[in-house]
Structure 1
């Protein structure tokens, strides 16, 4: 009877990890979309400042 009442939480844990992964991926995609061009611009400024074209 005890086995019947025990809860198997492996499925719930997998769902929680899936949700966390989805949120992290969404944050990365949003960050790249918002800041991607600005970061490219910053890196494009480095060679001229070093004296190389």
Structure 2
């Protein structure tokens, strides 16, 4: 029984698995944060380009630019 308890105390595989899990979680949080930031920047750039294209396109709706009818 004493040998079993001593082996259980010396076993660090569970602690290692927890450490790897924490590292993976931190990496995932960093990736999600970076993707949100980059995604917002890319979205803003596409909106800017889209607005400039709308300004450059001549309207064909009788001069009002309203295409809803």
Shorter-chain TM-score: what band? 0.5 to 0.7
Q: What runs of 5+ residues in structure 1 fail to find an aligned partner?
A: none
Over the aligned positions, Cα root-mean-square deviation in angstroms equals 2.0
After TM superposition, the score normalised by the length of structure 2 is 0.50
Ranked by relative contact order (alpha carbons within 8 Å, sequence separation 6 or more), the top structure is 1
More helix by share: 1
Greater gyration radius: 2
- Which consecutive segments of 4 or more residues in structure 1 shift more than 4 A? none
After TM superposition, the score normalised by the length of structure 1 is 0.60
